[in-house]
Amino acid sequence: MEGFKAKQVKLTEFDVMNTLGTGSFGRVRLAKQKSTGEYVALKMLKKAEILRLKQVDHIISENTILSNINHPFLIKMIGFTQDDRFLYFVLEYVAGGELFTYLRNKGKLDNPEALFYAAQVYIFV
C-alpha cells in the first residue's frame, strides 16, 4: 500500500474521449495519456455543484484517500488538476462497468461470486 502518491498533471497530457458514465458532480470520460498510450478515466467534478451540494469536505477526503492509496481492490488515482470550473481526477480505467448493472442483468450472484465481492468490501470495514 506504500510508495504511491498521485501527482498534479496537465490536461494537455491527455486525449479526452467518450463519456464512461455520470455521477453527482459531472461526468467521467475515457482519456488516453499521450506519452504512454495508457487509457485512464478522467473524472470531472463541477466546482459549482460541489459547493451547491455542500460536499467540499467529502470531495477533499475522496482526493486525499484515493491519492494516497495503492491497493488492487481500489481504484488508483494517477493524478489531479483543476481549472476555473472543474476539478479533474485522473483515475485508473476499470473496464466492465458497475457491479449494480452486472447484478441487475444477472438477477442474482452465485455464492462464490457473492463471497468474492463481499470480501472486497469487508476488508475495508
Ligand X SMILES: Nc1ncnc2c1ncn2[C@@H]1O[C@H](COP(=O)(O)OP(=O)(O)OP(=O)(O)O)[C@@H](O)[C@H]1O
Q: Interface residues with ligand X (CB under 6 A)?
A: 20-25, 28, 41, 43, 75, 91-94, 97-98
Q: How far is the CB of 83 from ligand X (least distance, A)?
A: 18
Closest distance to ligand X from the beta carbon of 41 (Å): 3
Q: Which three cell numbers stand for residue 80?
A: 489531479
Give the residue with the Cβ less far from ligand X, 102 or 115: 102
**In this complex, which beta carbon is closest to ligand X, that of residue 10 or of residue 26?**
26
Within 8 A by CB and 6+ apart from 89, the residues are 42, 43, 45, 62, 63, 66, 77, 79, 80
Q: Taking the complex as a whole, how short is the minimal distance between the CB of residue 35 and ligand X, in angstroms?
A: 19
Between 95 and 110, whose beta carbon lies closer to ligand X?
95
All three cell numbers of 38, joined, read: 495508457
